């Protein structure tokens, strides 16, 4: 039996979107391939409210995160972490020999604009990374306020991990002056895994040209120059199957309307938070709670593992807490094409299993 996924990626994918994956192949150096990739870029620019270029990577989002920290740091990277995915970005810097410092917040808390100001005002850094939506804790960072601080430092490249928020929350790349905004196909965009997606500013690319040892497969300059020279074709053979699905899914997203889509996510988040407060508690403060997933404090000391096993028998899956938060919390994702009705259905089943009613 298929389990309906309420986990923060991979998420449920619509049948018609899945079917697009079986579109017959085309040559990746054909005009059709150029058109497909150009169309995808045009649509993604709308989703990200940007005129910056779009780069696709046949890797998951982590590939672009690793490429970014490597390609855009010349002096030193300031890596802000509010959980596992922020920590991972720091590990990527270290393992690539990129000089970096880690600025950690307590689990469940945000990166404050003050922390960013304090770090950048030292003038030690030329790259900053922020996790927009930390999937391990269900916390969403105040990206607007953070961007106001970063804008005061024009020599700093601003990289944001929007892997679990893009497509579910409004991220206005140009307004926020984000240089590199990274996401993955399998989260709020509602596709199977296998594509990394990002926006990249021209000034970031110009900066990267002066950085040595950018690597090869995930070298932003090579990706950028190739799509410019070859009409949106990539250096290596890309994941065309996913591109067919992405092109189609972006039509669906734009047809729904971006504001409608973001409102639907807000509705699902608010409903889940209220439910959590009624029976358990929220792990994050409401004002910094994520729009795409809710992390619930396990105040009733239930076995999350057993709950998930029972849910599995009924055709649903949620996520246990991440890392140290396992069993202490559990996570319900409400992203991509899930609806309020889906969320109500799931929460009803949980109430039944736990005899909460």
Ligand X SMILES: *Cc1c(COP(=O)(O)O)cnc(C)c1O
Span between the terminal Cα atoms of the chain, in Å:
27
Residue closer to ligand X by CB (options 113, 193) is 193
Whole-number minimum distance, CB 61 to ligand X, in Å?
Answer: 3
List the one residue from 37, 52, 57, 62 that touches ligand X (CB under 6 A): 62
Residue closer to ligand X by CB (options 133, 199) is 133
| 113, 148 Cβ separation under 8 angstroms | yes
Residue 296 phi/psi, 5° resolution? -110, 130
Size, binding site for ligand X by CB under 6 A: 14
Beta strands in the chain (DSSP E): 4-5, 53-57, 77-81, 100-104, 127-131, 133-134, 139-140, 157-161, 180-184, 196-200, 281-282, 293-297, 316-317, 319-320, 329-333
C-alpha to C-alpha distances, 306 to 2, 3, 247, 269, 281, nearest whole angstrom: 18, 15, 39, 24, 19
Residue closer to ligand X by CB (options 53, 161) is 161
Residue closer to ligand X by CB (options 126, 161) is 161
**Mask 86-125, x = binds ligand X (CB under 6 A)?**
----------------------------------------
Whole-number minimum distance, CB 205 to ligand X, in Å?
Answer: 22
Name residues whose C-beta falls within 8 Å of residue 125's C-beta, 6 or more positions apart in sequence. Answer: 75, 76, 77, 78, 101, 119, 156
Residue closer to ligand X by CB (options 156, 159) is 159
By CB under 6 A, tell whether 131 contacts ligand X: yes
List the one residue from 184, 294, 298, 320 that touches ligand X (CB under 6 A): 184
Rule CB under 6 A: which residues touch ligand X?
8-9, 60-62, 85, 131, 133-135, 161, 163-164, 184
């Amino acid at each position: 039996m298929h389990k309906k996924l309420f986990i923060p990626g991979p998420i449920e994918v619509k049948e018609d979107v899945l079917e697009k994956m079986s579109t017959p192949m085309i040559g990746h150096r054909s005009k059709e391939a150029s058109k497909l990739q150009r169309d995808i870029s045009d649509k993604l620019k709308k989703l990200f409210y940007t005129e910056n270029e779009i780069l696709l990577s046949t890797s998951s989002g982590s590939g672009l995160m690793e490429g970014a920290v490597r390609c855009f740091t010349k002096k030193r990277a300031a890596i802000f972490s509010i959980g596992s995915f922020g920590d991972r970005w720091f590990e990527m810097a270290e393992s690539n020999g990129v000089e970096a410092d880690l600025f950690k917040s307590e689990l469940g808390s945000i990166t404050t604009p003050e922390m960013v100001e304090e770090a950048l005002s030292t003038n030690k850094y030329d790259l900053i990374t922020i996790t927009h939506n930390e999937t391990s804790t269900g916390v969403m960072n105040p990206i607007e306020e953070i961007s106001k601080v970063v804008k005061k430092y024009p020599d700093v490249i601003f990289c944001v991990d929007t892997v679990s928020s893009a497509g579910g929350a409004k991220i206005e790349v140009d307004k926020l002056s984000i240089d590199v905004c990274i996401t993955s196909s399998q989260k709020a965009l509602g596709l199977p895994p296998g594509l990394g997606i990002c926006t990249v500013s021209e000034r970031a690319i110009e900066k990267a040209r002066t950085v040595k040892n950018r690597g090869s497969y995930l070298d932003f300059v090579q990706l950028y120059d190739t799509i410019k020279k070859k009409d949106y074709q990539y250096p290596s053979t890309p994941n065309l199957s996913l591109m067919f699905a992405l092109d189609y899914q972006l039509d669906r997203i734009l047809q729904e309307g971006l504001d409608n889509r973001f409102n639907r996510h807000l509705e699902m988040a608010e409903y889940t938070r209220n439910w959590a407060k009624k029976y358990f508690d929220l792990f994050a403060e409401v004002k910094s709670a994520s729009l795409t997933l809710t992390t619930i404090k396990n105040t009733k000391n239930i076995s999350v593992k057993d709950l998930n096993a029972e849910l599995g028998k009924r055709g649903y899956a949620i996520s246990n807490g991440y890392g140290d938060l396992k069993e202490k919390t559990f996570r319900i994702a409400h992203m991509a094409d899930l609806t309020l009705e889906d969320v109500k259905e799931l929460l009803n089943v949980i109430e039944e299993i736990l005899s909460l009613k």
